[in-house]
Structure 1
């Protein structure tokens, strides 16, 4: 074994979207890391995640890539960002959700809107940003095969083109996906929850003529087939001229072989409604799980993304929860490395993110249970008034049962860290978030309510990389700044002076002073100076347990 020349504060095993997002976050905090990925440099997975939701886009904005993702989007304008339900592509339109994945106007409650773009666009955008940051070292065609940690750091054992090497770091993050052998081998983690929700298949296909037979509704970002086959299948366009698609079934029909292309092609042509040329690019079947690791922190080693939790794809929370993990873990690793984070800070990563994950998992499981086989009614494909009546009833059922899957803004923005050990609670009854609707509240543990300011900037643009004390009236910030400086805590004071901005923010913030973390969550708030400012700062940095 030979040692690499450099040691790194953070080693990241797995360079997919979540691992790369964490690397970007750390680099922008002036924390160096090494990113170890089995794929070749620039190699992207063509068909996987498609939705970067509102919350993730708020983090992308902070990392300087929200607009870049939109510019890189490889799906052309002829694909409407809609969701449709049809019997067959050449059959009947059952229901149409317009502009489901397109928001052209800014939302006052968020600094960004969501972006529907294929996984290859998401990965390419993240990889491009990572290359721009010199504090990120990238090792491709390499794999962390094992690790050893002690009181002072972690040794990663790496296999790559040059043979076997070791690298030493202060912390190691496992971002190697749902099947993560490193999670099993190195940490002996048993996942908990609901395994085997169903079998699914996903095929990336090419068909130049498919859009020519698309008669039932517009060419949409996502089209579900609700017909007598009850196959729970759908199509998702993936490129500029709508000639490449993701064909997906979840759960696929009982006894169906999702690894057999001929069987998949037959089902697809049935969904289209006529013969067309279709070329398979890649694909196969897999099992769906709703599972979570019992904890995400193991001393100096951490699980993140799919390695920490698996979520039903219905609702698009898989990658997005991983992006949230990166935003939570990044600032805590910074604090630990720079010395202003205490013993309770890194363990709070598990407490906070498990609460968010379990909340979203529950909503995604409910989405998973409402599939075509349960909503399709006899006669849905009939012509004439009888068929129209059946389709109208199925349309009503879709609105009632499936809207949550496409309108789960509460799952994106409304989760809370109510159980966190590093927030100072306000003594009010516990906040109960909603999954389908967004319930905005300026409460410790919640995402800080967002508004745009008079100069066009987003409130979050004024949140720093450490802690930010936002002041909306008379409040003495000197004790906070003095104690933060003495303890080495990066503290920014944001005190808007425009009366309109103050009025806008006071409309959602009842207190005069609000301490906001870099991941936009409220750590403390109050209108009166706390009796012990230092204790507040010790709590939110993990240096003291809350009373």
Structure 2
């Protein structure tokens, strides 16, 4: 980087999934973006391992589902290897037990760990380590049915997603600079001057997507209220011996919680007693081994660590996501325990919401206050996630009161209504924004309608523009949209099985207006609300 000032529209601090997603959204709109990342390559530390429904929808709406499908196959292959290893270990153990039987005494036929044979569990997530069985989902629930098309793509890890997004960002002309550290900045009201260890840049805007210990958040002076941590936890891909006592899946123990699998060598343990005293130095084999033994009671030996991270349940959120020309997204704006991979998915949602609004502001056509709706729409969802993770920590505690509450939650989670409720909340299908309008679809994610031209509604969102779907070939609708032709696409086609006559979909895939009546109705006002 030159020592001379360079001028771009937006500098994004952080090339994790949130920063890269935001950069892709801005690049798609023709915004000049530079991403600064202190790491020289993608961080391979084990992190989130699954994508929820809003994230899958966002990526599908940008044409990235084929890439997700490829990544998913690699993940499933690793999971199959873990199942194979567990089956071989169980068979060897059973053979050894039978060999020890006195001659003529029949062996005991039973399933692993002596449990009676049951139908296979269809894993759809967990709440505080309580596994949710998809066999209990209510098939009549419309939100459950709506997940069918994308639900199989969710098993994609964070590093896989980052690679997909980095490739896409480069295709869109985003300037990604690795090995560069942001050291300071000044917000001058009309621009931000950013100093790095390799030079100075000027930008119209600075977006802090630099994680839970965000330099941007700290330097800008954002308040960061919340609750203090209770746990020290480790997640690792490790080489271990003497693991016979470790059961696959999530398990509560007298001292904490652990999970084993679904990948070979993957283990997670959480014990209560406060945050880790050391958050920066590499986790040693002895440290991980001690934690696994204390929580599981199994005398495993850790012989090698491929990747390991410490984490805790510090839960904090900035009151506003924007100060002047500085914006925050992802963990820079909110931190919490990572159980369920909520942080990755929450951050991608932030990026999708912010991207088109910031691009519209830069282009000069955004109506008054549009950028401030970023905080208004995303802060409540972030606050919900913080409380969702706090509730999980509460039922993981080893004290008698928490274990009593856990038993009640476990009973409820085993019912059809309980499983459906928890799975829907985890999946994110409930998420919506409070937008003006009376139609029940307004403010919700657009339905994935099949259209008469053979396409699906998300196919028309790849360009990141607002789209008016005219399902009734209505000239009045098209006339209302005419003055916005530079930033609005009109699609005229029938929607099979739908009573909708028209649907206005924002660039992030959320419905801004819907109608089952002929004519434009109040469409002109809705267009003016966010297209200027």
TM score, norm. by length of structure 1: 0.76
Name the stretch that deviates more: 279-288 or 15-24.
279-288
> What does 1:112-191 align with in structure 2 at a 5 Å threshold?
112-113=150-151, 114-133=153-172, 135-159=173-197, 163=198, 165-185=199-219, 187-191=220-224
> What does 1:243-322 align with in structure 2 at a 5 Å threshold?
244-249=265-270, 251-252=271-272, 261-269=285-293, 271=296, 273-283=298-308, 285-322=310-347
Distance 1:201 1:191, change over 3 A: same
Q: In structure 2, what is the equivalent of residue 385 of structure 1?
A: none
For each residue in 1:135-181, what CA deviation from the matched residue of structure 2 results, as whole angstroms up to 9, or x when unmatched? 2111111122222223432221111xxx3x11111211000111112
Considering fraction of residues, name the structure with more helix.
2
Q: In structure 2, what is the equivalent of residue 200 of structure 1?
A: 232
Q: Partners in 2 of 1:21 and 1:355 — Cα distance?
A: 21
For each residue in 1:431-457, what CA deviation from the matched residue of structure 2 results, as whole angstroms up to 9, or x when unmatched? xxxxxxxxxxx4322222333446764
Higher RCO (C-alpha under 8 Å, 6+ residues apart): 2
For each residue in 1:179-200, what CA deviation from the matched residue of structure 2 results, as whole angstroms up to 9, or x when unmatched? 1122111x2111133x124222
Q: In structure 2, what is the equivalent of residue 384 of structure 1?
A: none
**2:493 aligned residue (496, 502, 514):** 496
Q: Partners in 2 of 1:208 and 1:456 — Cα distance?
A: 52
SS in 2 for 1:316: helix
The answer (yes or no) to whether the contact 1:17–1:122 under 8 Å persists in 2 is yes
How far 1:413 sits from its partner (Å)?
1.9
The answer (yes or no) to whether the contact 1:472–1:495 under 8 Å persists in 2 is yes
The answer (yes or no) to whether the contact 1:515–1:525 under 8 Å persists in 2 is yes
> What does 1:208-219 align with in structure 2 at a 5 Å threshold?
213=244, 216=247
How far 1:528 sits from its partner (Å)?
5.1
Distance 1:108 1:451, change over 3 A: farther
The answer (yes or no) to whether the contact 1:21–1:326 under 8 Å persists in 2 is yes
Distance 1:514 1:375, change over 3 A: farther
SS in 2 for 1:449: coil
Q: Partners in 1 of 2:402 and 2:383 — Cα distance?
A: 32
**1:515 aligned residue (504, 517, 522):** 504
The answer (yes or no) to whether the contact 2:269–2:291 under 8 Å persists in 1 is no
How far 1:2 sits from its partner (Å)?
5.6
The answer (yes or no) to whether the contact 1:44–1:123 under 8 Å persists in 2 is no
SS in 2 for 1:172: strand
How far 1:409 sits from its partner (Å)?
4.3
For each residue in 1:75-119, what CA deviation from the matched residue of structure 2 results, as whole angstroms up to 9, or x when unmatched? 353626999xx9xx985669974242699xx97524522522333
SS in 1 for 2:314: strand
How far 1:254 sits from its partner (Å)?
6.7
Q: In structure 1, what is the equivalent of residue 99 of structure 2?
A: none
Q: In structure 1, what is the equivalent of residue 31 of structure 2?
A: 31
How far 1:321 sits from its partner (Å)?
0.7
The answer (yes or no) to whether the contact 1:38–1:143 under 8 Å persists in 2 is yes
Q: In structure 2, what is the equivalent of residue 535 of structure 1?
A: 525
Q: Partners in 2 of 1:402 and 1:368 — Cα distance?
A: 19
Name the stretch that deviates more: 453-462 or 319-328.
453-462
Q: In structure 2, what is the equivalent of residue 59 of structure 1?
A: 58
Name the stretch that deviates more: 316-325 or 252-261.
252-261
The answer (yes or no) to whether the contact 1:13–1:144 under 8 Å persists in 2 is yes
The answer (yes or no) to whether the contact 2:17–2:161 under 8 Å persists in 1 is yes
SS in 1 for 2:206: strand
Q: Does 1:467 align with 2:493?
A: no
Q: In structure 2, what is the equivalent of residue 435 of structure 1?
A: none
Q: In structure 1, what is the equivalent of residue 251 of structure 2?
A: 225
Distance 1:331 1:264, change over 3 A: same
The answer (yes or no) to whether the contact 1:468–1:492 under 8 Å persists in 2 is yes
Q: In structure 2, what is the equivalent of residue 350 of structure 1?
A: 375
Distance 1:443 1:81, change over 3 A: farther
**2:433 aligned residue (405, 417, 422):** 417
